[in-house]
Each structure stands twice: as C-alpha cells, then as structure tokens.
Structure 1
Amino acid sequence: MGIAKMTNKLSLLLQKPNVFHNLSVAQLVEKILQRNEGKLTATGAVAVTTGKYTGRSPKDKYIVEEAATQAKIDWGTTNQPISEEVFENLYNKVLDYLMKKDEIFVFKGFAGADPKYRLPIQVINEFAWHNLFAHQLFIRPTAEELKTHEAEFTVICAPNFKADPAVDGTRSETFIIISFERRVVLIGGTEYAGEMKKSIFTVMNYLLPEQGILSMHCSANVGKEGDVALFFGLSGTGKTTLSADPNRRLIGDDEHGWSNRGIFNIEGGCYAKCINLSREKEPQIFDAIGFGAVLENVVIDEQTRLPNYDDATLTENTRAAYPIQAINNIVDPSIAGHPSTIIFLTADAFGVLPPISKLTREQAMYHFLSGYTSKLAGTERGVTSPQATFSTCFGAPFLPLPAVRYAEMLGRKIAEHNVRVFLVNTGWTGGEYGVGSRMKLAYTRAMVQAAVEGELDNVETVKDPIFGLEIPIHIPGVPDEVLQPQNTWADKQAYAQKAKELAAKFRENFQKFKHIAPEIEALGGPIA
C-alpha cells in the first residue's frame, strides 16, 4: 500500500459520523464515564487503569526502515528497525479494526510551544481517556488555529488491537512503530498512555535537530530577571522537585527545544509521577490534579473516591496528567530566552561524586553523553550494592539520531551563549548506599540556588583528584566539609577505592561513543 492509499484510508476513517473531533474536557469526561473507562475522583480527576502494561514497552518500539531516513537513524537495541511491509500490514489492520468501532476520538493540536517550530499533530484514539490524555499533554489549539490545522504527524492508538507475532512480524502483542516517511506513529496492544507522549518526543528528537534545534529531555524554569535554567536528570534525581521553585516560573517539566531564539516547551502539559505524593512535599503537583486531570493506576477509595497516592498495589509508576496551566507559577506561552545555567542531576549511590561541581564545556559534553545516575539492587534479597546506570543525554530511549550529534549541538550552544554548567549529586554522602546518608534536600536547594543566581561564578574551587571536577570550597547554607566528598567519609582509603571504581565505569561506558572529538574524553572524563 502506497502513501497515497494509506492517506485515503485514514481520511475515510476520520470522515465517519461516529468520530469525535477535539471534544472539550467536560465532554471527554462524560464519554469516559459513559463508556466505563474510568472513575471520577473526589478532586474531579479521572482515575483509570492500564491493565497488563503500567509502563513503556521499549523492546516493542520500532522505527520503519525507509530510504529517506535509513542512513540517519542510530540503529540498535533502542532504535529497532522494522520493515515497511510489516508496518503497512499492521497499519491496514489497525485502520480496519477502528472502522468497526462505535466511537473514535481525535485530538488536533501541536508539539512545540514556539509557533515557528511547532509540529501540527493529530492523535486518533480508541479510548476516550486516551484522547483526554492527549488533550492535556499536547498543546491545545485556539478555535482559530483549529480552522486551518493540517496535521503533519499522526498518532494512531488502538490498545485493544493485539498483534500476532507469528503473522505480524512483531516481538509480542504490543507495538509502537514510527514511520518518519509516512509521518505516522502506530500503537497497539498497550493501554499505557505514556507511549503516545514519548513517541511524539522521539519524533521531535528527529525533526528538531534537522532544523538546527537541540531537543532535550529536561525541565526548565526562569527567574525574575529572565534568567533561564535547565535541569537534566534521570528518575529519582530530583529534576521535578528542584525545578519547581516558588521563586522561579516553570517553563516545562520534561521536554524542551533550544533554538536560535531560546528555549521552548515541546508539551502543553505535565505527566508527573505521583507515588507517595503529598501536598507537603509537592504542593504544585498535588493541587494541579483537579477536574480533567488523568490519574493512571492510582488506587482510589471506592467510598470517598479520594486517591491513595501511597498505594503501589498496581504499580510504583503511578502517574498524573494535567495541563501546565493547572500550575500557578508558569510561563505562558512556554517560551523563554537562552539558558544561563544548566544543571546535570545525578543520584550517586557510591557516595563519591561532589554534591556540586563546576563543569568546563568538555566536561559538560562528557557528562551529557554519560547521563550517569545509579539504581539500587533488590534490597529485599539483602543486596545493598548500587548499580551504575548510564542513559545517554539523560534520555537514551527517545533519541533516534546518534548521541554525539546532540552532544555536539549542546557544546556549541554552551560556548555561543556562555552558559555555566554544574554537576549536582543528590545521592549519597559520607559513604555509599547502606553506609552514608542521602544528601539533605535543603543543602541541594541552597547549592542550586547559588548556581542559578550566579553566586558560584567567581568562587574559589579545588579540583577533585579523581574526577577532575572543580568543587566550590564554600557555599552559604552548606557546611564546608559536605562540599568535599572525601571529607565526609570516615575511611578515606575506602573512599578512594570506591571513587576509582566509579571512574572506571565512566571510562568503560564512554567507549561506546564513536566519532567524538578526542578532547571531550581527554578533558571531560575522570583523571585518575
């Protein structure tokens, strides 16, 4: 089936009388309740469950091998190739399946807050709640914009359509397939809504660099003087907590582009983890979960309909989706100038990285490519040793192009805009996990505040003997001894051994990067 025939078939589907286009939040909530897809909670949010899959399925995500894109994609275990034939057969089957549905829901909107670079998209859903999710997560068009909206990328999501691996050429019943030539994302076999969000992020991570724009997996905020800060970090490093600053306005919490005009949010909403959520710990997120928000896999009290955010019965990966406008302290539209500060967040369970250090341009590129944090082994089996984890550019699962391309763009922008860059360790101090303690949030906040406000630009520093990082010797609100990791360890020999062990892991991980300027590794990595 050629592109023209595929387009015609999609047009026929969208012209059916039972297809609902851009319903309002209230209309979608009504549909969700009528169709028994979810329950209304005491806060006005809709609570839904996603069944078998409560997270992304990275092993079932594919990119179609096509002539126009084949040479550009960084093929491998992350970007798995799939043939055009397999894609077209599944596309045909999914559309035939949706043709028979009583109701179909369509959202038309945008990815990218900057009008010059935004991507017009449409999301076609089997479930009303998925369409509400799309409405809240992507950028909603005005009535005038909707009149002239022409989608340039289409997401088709049919969770109840399950592939037959033996016939359809997939690994399992689940598939997330991106065709850049046909400009379609095809999703089936999973109800987890995050697949839609991250598929469009993957698309933007392909399209934006082609326009000279760096796409980034980070949060961003702006101060009263217009100074922009970016926060990169993997799960558990404090990215959301530290970017939600009452003295700074939020630009976005997860995905951004950096053009020659400045920073812009790719999304129109937030998809926040809400396990153990409380108003005391995260007031902005807690209060944002009102009417029209979507709660994924959060256990609800049947009588009171109050969410129990502490209940992980269904999954630890409970989520809340809501429009960014549900947060009071935001930039709207989500556009700002060039960053003055970049913060790389890591939760080092080895307890050897400094709580904050200043990075050169080469070190920034090195640590961006490394994307280091650590996850803890299964303590239920008595194993307490931390495991180093590296996620390239702090977003490896969503990068279709070679990682070096993103890193080189970052390096150029750091130099062009004279951006200060810091590595902040929110992990352990005084020893590794099980011996030391987690860095106090109050100390981390004080360090981040000093960094973004320029207070560390000219302070005295000392060079870490193993990692080569420049460590400030004094920061207001932080004990001096905390700033030097070796000073917090009772056993200095044990510190040196553990630090060298982590440095070796950095070097080993960095060997996978090809065609990177040699000075990045020489000047950016550990020195001992």
Structure 2
Amino acid sequence: MNAVEQSKMIKELLSHDNLQNNLSAPQLVEKILGREEGTLSASGAIRATTGKYTGRSPKDKFIVRDETTRDVIDWGIVNQEIDEASFDNLYKKVVDYLKDRNELYRFQGYAGADTNYRLPIEVFNEYAWHNLFSRQLFIEPTKEELKTHQSGFTVVSAPTYKADPEIDGTNSETFILVSFKQRIVLIGGTEYAGEIKKSIFSVMNFLLPQRDILSMHCSANVGQEGDVALFFGLSGTGKTTLSADPYRRLIGDDEHGWSTNGVFNIEGGCYAKCINLSQEKEPQIYDAIRFGSVLENVILHEESRQPDYDDTSLTENTRAAYTLNNIDNIVSPSVAGHPNTIIFLTADASGTLPPISRLTKEQAMYHFLSGYTSKLAGTERGVTDPQATFSACFGSPFLPLKPATYAEMLGEKIDLYNTSVFLVNTGWTGGSYGIGKRMKLSYTRAMVHSALEGELNSAETTSDDIFGLEIPMHVPGVPDEVLIPKQTWDDKGAYEKEAQTLAMKFHENFKQFTHVSDAIRNAGPLYRG
C-alpha cells in the first residue's frame, strides 16, 4: 500500500457518517450505557467485560517486514513477521468493516509527556468504552494543541472483526499488526483493551532509541527532595502498587523514557491490576477509580453495583484504567530528573531469591538482560499458575529491537548518573508457590523505602552462596530472618534443590546473550551445574 492508498483509507474512516471525534468522558459514558457496552459501577467507573480474551495475545502480534524494519527488528517468537500484502489486505477489510458500523469513535492525543519527544497519535475505536479507555491512558491535548494535531501513528481497533488465518496470514481470529512504514497499528478479534495501550508502547520502544532515548517498561516516582526512582517489572510484580506511594509523587506507573533531560512518562494514565484491591492496602489506586475510569472484567454486586475486587470468576487479570489526574500527588507534567535509584522487581514463585539485594553494575546488567519473574495467572491467555519466565529488560513482549540495544543504554546511564540498583522479590517466601506465602506488602514497602532513602547503599550485607547477591543484614521494619530466604524454609534441603534449579534456568536463558562481556556474564548465579 503506497502513501496515497494509506491516506485514502484514513480518509474513509474520517468520512464515517457517525464519526464521534474526541468526545468527553461524560459523553462517552452516555454512549457506553446507551449502547449497553458496559455498566455504571457504584464508584462511578464504567465496568466492561472482554469475553474470552482477558489478557494479551502475544502469539497473535506481528510486525510488518519491509525496508523500514527488515534489518533492525529482533525477529523471532516475540516479533513475528507478516508480509506487506497480508497487512494491506487485512487493513482494507477492517476499514470496510468499520465503515458499516453504526458509529465510530476517534481520540487524538499524545504518547510522551516531554513535548520535545512526544508522538502525536490517533485511535479509531469500534467500541465507545475502548475510546474511553484510550482517553484515560494516553495524554489528552489542550484545545489549542488539538487545532494543529497531526497524527504520527494511528491505531485502528475493530474487536468484533475476526480474521481468517488461512486467508489473512494470522495465527488465529485475533490480530495485532504493526506497520512502522505505514505508521499503523491494526487490532481485531479481541476486546481486551490492553492491546491498544501496549501496541503504542511497542511503537515508542522502536522510535525512542533512534533518538538516543531509553524506553523502559517501568513505573517512576519522585521524593520530596527531588530524588527519582524507577521500578522495573512485568505485570503482577508490583510496579503500580509500589510506585503509588503517599510520600512520593507519581510520575507514571508503567512506561517511561530516559533522555538527556531526565525521565518522562509515555502515558497519561494508569492501567492497574486490581485483584484483591482494598482502600486500606492501596488507597491511591482505590480512590482513583471513579467517574470516567474503566473497570475491566471486575465483578459488580448485582444490586449495589459495588466492585468485588476479590472475585476472580472472570479472570485474575482484573484491571482499572484511570487518568493520572485522579491521583493527588502526581508530577505534572509527568517529567522529572535523572534516577537516583532503580528497583528491579520479580515475583519469584520458587521462593529462593532474596526479598532485597544490592546489585553491582555488572549484576544490574545481568538481571536486566535476564528479566526473571514468574508469569502470573491472567496476564496472558492460558496462564493459570505461576510459570518461571525470562523477559529481557523486563519487557520483552514490547521490545521490537534487540535487548542489547536497551541494556547498553541502561548501563551507560547507570554509570553516567551514579544510579543505585536493587533487586526486590515480591514473590514467595518460606517455600515455593503452593507451600510458602507471598511476601507481605508491608515488608516490601519497608525495604523499598530504605533503598530509596539511601539507607542500604552502605549497609552491612551477606553474600548469597548460590545467587551471589549481596543481602542487607538489617532493614528497619522487616524481621532479619525474612531477609535470608534459606532461613524461612523448614526443609533446607528442598531450598537448596529449588535454588539450584532456578540458578540453572538463569544460566540456560543467558546463553542467548553471546556478545556480553565476561564481567556481566559472571555476575549471575554462582552455581555452574
């Protein structure tokens, strides 16, 4: 498809008889209720369900292989290729399909809070609730900015259009296709709204490094003294929860860029997991879910319409999408200085990694490239129990380029800005999944607080004899015995076996990184098998 044909396709969407442009949250809520797409909850948020797809569909995501991407994309299982003709044909089908819908919704906004590096985007939605979701998650332009807004990337979302794999070249009825040449994201066959958010994140992970900006799957906040902290980790590890700190201002909860000016949020909202959410444990998130917000797959009590955050009958991956403006102590605009502290988060289902450890630069690079965690139930289709997984840079599903590209940039910045790095395990203690218990959030908060205050930079440590990690001997508010994983296990032999098994998995995974230095390679677990 050439530029003229692409422009024609966009014009066909813009000429839709009932195109709803940049509706306000109240207008969208009226549309959603009138079209029976969702239910109004007691908190004022819209509740919508997503059918059989309650998580991302990574096996259905493709990047168009063309002269723009051929030599730079890290092709493979994560970044599957699809040819230009297949994309063009499916794009035309989806546009024709949307033209026949009763209404079409369009949102114009930005990705990137730093005006020097932001990407103008537009999102076309078949569903009004998806459009409200987009409005909550991306950055809304001012009236003046909207007058001159020219999209740099377009998302076209048609959840009820299903592909034919034999004809369309997809793996299933679901498809998430990205064309960097056409600057189009095409989504269909899934009602899970997270695909909209994550597709733009993947786009930014391609574009920002070209401008010498590190794009990161992390949350970020800033302390009263202006100290900045980053929290890396996959879904379910605690990024959103731990960055929502009443004593620190939130920059953002999931996606950021790190330029020569400092850190900036890519988004304008938060997409928080809300399984077992309570006002007592997570007041910022709980109170942020109000009118204009979107609750995804959350069960409501039939009469009161009160959300039941403990009910997992639809999925454990229940979500809440809300604008940053629903949080009181935020940084506005969402930009800050260079990070003082980096926290790598992992939810270790083996129960053998220390709850907190201080990393050397080489260890930081090793664990960043490894990106170990346990994939938790609900974040992807088919995942019902925690599974050990390694996701490079704590965000492999969203990285179009080789992991080394992002890792090298991070290493340079750690050196340049003298950033402290810690590995924090929010997973299991006292045994593996099914035997031990999840680490208490109060303990994790105490450890993170000590790290951010600089109390652990020179604290007395002991070295773990399998993972080679330096573990603080004392952390205020945390029992000493909790800090040493082996001491929390009743069966010490079982601990040794489980820890060595995990160490072997680290080594097997790291074999893919053939060009790293010996210093980084040797910064991993000491066990050699």
Q: TM-score, normalised by structure 2?
A: 0.95
Aligned residues: 523
Alignment-derived partner of residue 326 in structure 1 = 326
Q: Secondary structure at the match of 2:225?
A: coil
- Relative distance call for 1:106 and 1:463 in structure 2 (3 A) is same
Alignment-derived partner of residue 67 in structure 2 = 67
Distance in 2 of aligned mates of 1:437 and 1:41: 33
Specify the code of the residue in structure 2 equivalent to 1:227.
Answer: D
Distance in 2 of aligned mates of 1:325 and 1:386: 33
Alignment-derived partner of residue 470 in structure 2 = 470
Q: Secondary structure at the match of 1:177?
A: strand
- Relative distance call for 1:55 and 1:481 in structure 2 (3 A) is closer
Alignment-derived partner of residue 204 in structure 2 = 204
Distance in 2 of aligned mates of 1:370 and 1:194: 24
User: Would you say the 8 A contact 2:12–2:95 is kept in 1?
Assistant: no
- Relative distance call for 1:375 and 1:102 in structure 2 (3 A) is closer
Distance in 1 of aligned mates of 2:475 and 2:97: 61
1:348 is displaced (CA, Å) by: 2.2
1:57 is displaced (CA, Å) by: 1.2
1:182 has 2:182 as partner: yes
Alignment-derived partner of residue 506 in structure 1 = 506
Distance in 1 of aligned mates of 2:218 and 2:512: 23
User: Would you say the 8 A contact 1:365–1:524 is kept in 2?
Assistant: no
Distance in 2 of aligned mates of 1:24 and 1:377: 34
Alignment-derived partner of residue 426 in structure 2 = 426
Q: Percent identity?
A: 68
Q: Secondary structure at the match of 2:256?
A: strand
User: Would you say the 8 A contact 2:63–2:79 is kept in 1?
Assistant: yes
Specify the code of the residue in structure 2 equivalent to 1:289.
Answer: I
Alignment-derived partner of residue 224 in structure 1 = 224
Alignment-derived partner of residue 381 in structure 1 = none
1:351-390 equivalences under 5 Å are 351-374=351-374, 387-390=387-390
Distance in 2 of aligned mates of 1:495 and 1:334: 43
RMSD: 2.0
1:377 is displaced (CA, Å) by: 9.9
Per-residue CA deviations over 1:408-451 (Å, capped at 9, x if unaligned) read 11111101100000011222333334444433332222211111
User: Would you say the 8 A contact 2:376–2:387 is kept in 1?
Assistant: yes
Deviates further, 446-455 or 346-355:
346-355
Per-residue CA deviations over 1:163-202 (Å, capped at 9, x if unaligned) read 1222222121111100000100011111111110000000
Alignment-derived partner of residue 391 in structure 1 = 391
1:53 has 2:53 as partner: yes
Per-residue CA deviations over 1:31-79 (Å, capped at 9, x if unaligned) read 1122221122222211112122111111111000011211100111111
- Relative distance call for 1:377 and 1:246 in structure 2 (3 A) is closer
Q: Secondary structure at the match of 1:85?
A: helix
Distance in 2 of aligned mates of 1:314 and 1:399: 29
User: Would you say the 8 A contact 1:32–1:128 is kept in 2?
Assistant: yes
Distance in 2 of aligned mates of 1:447 and 1:42: 35
- Relative distance call for 1:226 and 1:166 in structure 2 (3 A) is same
- Relative distance call for 1:434 and 1:486 in structure 2 (3 A) is same
1:247 has 2:247 as partner: yes
Specify the code of the residue in structure 2 equivalent to 1:224.
Answer: Q
Show structure 2 runs of 5+ residues with no match.
379-383
Per-residue CA deviations over 1:367-415 (Å, capped at 9, x if unaligned) read 011111235899xxxxx99742212211111111111111111111101
Specify the code of the residue in structure 1 equivalent to 2:235.
Answer: S
1:156 has 2:156 as partner: yes
- Relative distance call for 1:516 and 1:162 in structure 2 (3 A) is same
Per-residue CA deviations over 1:219-244 (Å, capped at 9, x if unaligned) read 11110000011111223322222222
User: Would you say the 8 A contact 2:236–2:376 is kept in 1?
Assistant: no
Alignment-derived partner of residue 195 in structure 1 = 195
Distance in 2 of aligned mates of 1:201 and 1:238: 19
Distance in 2 of aligned mates of 1:482 and 1:249: 29
Deviates further, 3-12 or 475-484:
475-484
Q: Secondary structure at the match of 1:280?
A: coil
1:264 is displaced (CA, Å) by: 0.7
Deviates further, 181-190 or 493-502:
493-502
Specify the code of the residue in structure 1 equivalent to 2:311.
Answer: D
Alignment-derived partner of residue 347 in structure 1 = 347
Q: Secondary structure at the match of 1:8?
A: helix
1:305 is displaced (CA, Å) by: 2.2
Alignment-derived partner of residue 406 in structure 2 = 406
- Relative distance call for 1:53 and 1:439 in structure 2 (3 A) is closer
- Relative distance call for 1:203 and 1:443 in structure 2 (3 A) is same
Q: Secondary structure at the match of 2:522?
A: helix
Deviates further, 226-235 or 180-189:
226-235
Distance in 1 of aligned mates of 2:110 and 2:377: 40
Deviates further, 461-470 or 400-409:
461-470
Alignment-derived partner of residue 236 in structure 2 = 236
Distance in 1 of aligned mates of 2:256 and 2:83: 31
User: Would you say the 8 A contact 1:385–1:433 is kept in 2?
Assistant: no
- Relative distance call for 1:342 and 1:296 in structure 2 (3 A) is same
Deviates further, 172-181 or 422-431:
422-431
Alignment-derived partner of residue 125 in structure 2 = 125
- Relative distance call for 1:317 and 1:3 in structure 2 (3 A) is same
User: Would you say the 8 A contact 1:350–1:386 is kept in 2?
Assistant: no
Q: Secondary structure at the match of 1:523?
A: coil
User: Would you say the 8 A contact 1:216–1:255 is kept in 2?
Assistant: yes
Show structure 1 runs of 5+ residues with no match.
379-383
1:247 is displaced (CA, Å) by: 0.8
Alignment-derived partner of residue 264 in structure 2 = 264
1:478 is displaced (CA, Å) by: 2.4
Distance in 2 of aligned mates of 1:375 and 1:20: 38
Alignment-derived partner of residue 482 in structure 1 = 482
Alignment-derived partner of residue 108 in structure 2 = 108
- Relative distance call for 1:496 and 1:318 in structure 2 (3 A) is closer
Alignment-derived partner of residue 95 in structure 2 = 95
1:159 is displaced (CA, Å) by: 1.2
Distance in 2 of aligned mates of 1:338 and 1:360: 19
